[in-house]
């Protein structure tokens, strides 16, 4: 015998139906885009020298696979993204926690964080190479410059806007600042932290590709740069498509984590 009420069962069915519809239309959009792109290229309504085509992208990917270089480039970029993603999130969370804990420090450094976040990171590329060296470290450093400050701002904003009444209640009950953070601020900002993770995926990927365009002998950024230098648009588009797939897969992982965390915490999805 079911422990759920009729209304709750209807609600669950509705949510499942919504998920199916969303998945269907997401898939439909990409399929229609690929079909349209292929048909336009075959009808010569678009210049394949400038825009390639789905079949050419697949052939290029197969050639890279046969050359045993495809997964080397993917592996290099993925390694750099994961390292920069983890470091940026850890640094961002710790810094945001320190700023929340000390309002005076927060007021002092807040404008500097905003300024550093708004700096054109590409312009700093030559300096980064001089400071860190023309290696993987400079690529990760570039990614950290792009993603860390965004993480700090996002998480700190969430911590600062936690329900004041709830914090006041905890203070009235004699909770210490540590207890307020663990029992009140942190649980209330799980959605904010998850959002920061999602943003950081794209930011880390952008930073890594920018770094690879500046200094790299492997990776998807290098593949794109090399393709543009030899006017091989198929190689460039293939690199971009693989980047899109990687970005979606990493986003999907965070999305799965979000669903599991919210279910565990009893938050409506």
CA pseudo-torsion sign 188, 97, 208, 146 = positive
Sign of CA dihedral 52, 58, 59, 64: positive
Torsion of CA 23, 24, 26, 29, to 10 degrees: 170
pTM beyond 0.85:
no
Instruction: Quick: pLDDT tens for 148-197.
Output: 999 999 999 999 888 888 888 888 888 888 888 888 888 888 888 988 99
> At 1, is the pLDDT very low, low, confident or very high (cuts 50, 70, 90)?
very low
For 72-108, what is each residue's pLDDT tens digit? Answer: 999 999 999 999 999 999 999 999 999 998 989 999 9
Count of Cβ atoms closer than 10 Å to residue 73 Cβ: 21
Check: CB of residue 265 under 8 Å from CB of residue 187. yes
């Amino acid at each position: 015998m079911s422990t759920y009420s009729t209304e709750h069962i209807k609600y669950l069915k509705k949510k499942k139906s919504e998920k199916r519809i969303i998945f269907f239309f997401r898939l439909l959009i990409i399929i229609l885009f690929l079909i349209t792109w292929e048909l336009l290229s075959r009808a010569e309504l678009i210049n394949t020298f400038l825009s390639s085509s789905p079949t050419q992208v697949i052939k290029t990917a197969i050639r890279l696979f046969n050359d045993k270089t495809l997964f080397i480039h993917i592996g290099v970029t993925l390694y750099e993204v994961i390292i920069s993603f983890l470091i940026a999130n850890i640094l961002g969370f710790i810094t945001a926690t320190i700023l929340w804990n000390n309002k005076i420090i927060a007021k002092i450094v807040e404008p500097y964080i905003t300024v550093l976040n708004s700096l054109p990171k590409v312009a700093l590329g030559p300096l980064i190479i001089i400071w860190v060296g023309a290696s993987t470290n400079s690529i990760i450093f570039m990614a950290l410059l792009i993603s860390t400050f965004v993480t700090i701002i996002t998480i700190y904003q969430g911590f600062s806007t936690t329900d004041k009444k709830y914090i006041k209640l905890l203070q009235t009950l004699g909770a210490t600042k540590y207890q307020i953070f663990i029992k009140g601020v942190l649980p209330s900002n799980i959605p904010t932290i998850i959002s920061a993770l999602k943003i950081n995926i794209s930011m880390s990927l952008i930073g890594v590709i920018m770094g690879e365009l500046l200094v790299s002998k492997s990776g998807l950024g290098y593949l794109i740069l090399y393709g543009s230098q030899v006017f091989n648009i198929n190689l460039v588009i293939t690199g971009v498509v693989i980047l899109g797939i990687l970005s979606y897969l990493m986003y999907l992982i965070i999305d799965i984590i979000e669903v599991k965390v919210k279910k565990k915490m009893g938050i409506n999805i």
